[in-house]
Structure 1
Amino acid sequence: MKTLNPAVAPVLKRLHYLLDVILTCVRWYVSYALSLRNLEEMMAERGIGVDHSTVHRWALKLLPVLEKAFGHHKRPVGRSWRVDETCIKVKGQWKYLYRVVDKAGNTIDFLLPAHRDKTAARRYFEK
């Protein structure tokens, strides 16, 4: 049996789907460039009928709680890391991507502001 973080358990209490389905949908929504309708279709292919608006409500409800509960459990970072800056197009609009990478090139954290701001990025990553 899975034990839930005490901060997350009350939020999941009244949800009527399997916990694995809920967490999979929310994880895929934030991890990959999928629309809510893509997720609805992907779940239907797996035999799970879930509406895109339901997935959206799950994300709105769970993401702040999950961030608060697990945000401090990030991977440990060695003494050597660097910030990489590039400009990318997201949903048709140009944004700046600041990415922190370790010696092995693994992404540790990132920031995606609409406008270039090196000072804000430096403050964000040095906290």
Structure 2
Amino acid sequence: MSLRDIEELLFERGVIVSYETVRRWCDKFGAGFAHRVKAARRKPGTTWHLDEVFVTLRGEPYLLWRAVDQHGAELDILLQKRRDKAAAKRFFKRVLASCPEAPHKIVTDQLA
């Protein structure tokens, strides 16, 4: 949804603001709101699924790493060019750091 779309939605509800004001609100309140939403998220499940897939962006191949719990809640994603042991370790450490508890079981698609 664009800033102009938000401006239009607010106008339909009787709030007259410019898209520039909406942008300033996003800059001012966005980080704090995102932090509260993340803190209120449900605690991740005990089984995590780690997956990797190659995607092409602007004609170049990238690797998209994704971690989800057994409920389908996305724990973390990472997009990078490299596919090696160090990259996998870095992503796994990042996922572990973002969650309060380590999983009991990790399911992969035979990452090699």
Q: Same fold (TM over 0.5)?
A: yes
Aligned residues: 92
Q: 2:75 aligns with which of 109, 112, 120?
A: 109
Distance in 2 of aligned mates of 1:60 and 1:93: 32
Work out which of the residue numbers 73, 84, 89 in structure 2 matches 1:119. Answer: 89
The 1:54–1:87 alpha-carbon spacing in structure 2 relative to 1, beyond 3 Å, is: farther
Deviation of 1:44 (Å):
2.2
Q: TM-score, normalised by structure 2?
A: 0.58
8 Å contact kept, 2:67–2:74:
yes
| Cα pair distance change 1:86/1:64, threshold 3 Å | same
Matched, 1:36 2:3: yes
Q: Please state how far the C-alpha of 1:48 moved relative to its aligned partner.
A: 2.3
Normalising by the residue count of structure 1, what TM-score does the alignment of the two structures yield?
A: 0.53
Partners of 1:93 and 1:38 in 2: how far apart? 30
Structure 1 residue 63 corresponds to structure 2 residue 30: yes
Larger Rg over CA atoms: 2
Tell me what 1:46 maps to: 13
Task: Specify every segment of 5 or more residues in structure 1 that has no aligned partner in the other structure, as ranges.
Answer: 1-33
CA separation of 1:79 and 1:86: change in aligned 2, threshold 3 A: same
Distance 1:126 1:60, change over 3 A: same
Say if 1:107 and 1:87 are closer, same or farther in 2 by CA, change over 3 A. Answer: farther
3-state DSSP of counterpart to 1:110: strand
Question: Higher strand fraction: Structure 1 or Structure 2?
Answer: 2
Instruction: Give 3-state SS (helix, strand or coil) of 1:71's partner.
Output: helix
Q: What are the ranges of 5 or more consecutive residues in structure 2 without an aligned counterpart?
A: 98-112
Give the percent of matched residue pairs that are identical in Structure 1 and Structure 2.
27
Partners of 1:52 and 1:38 lie apart in 2 by 8
Aligned-CA RMSD value: 3.0
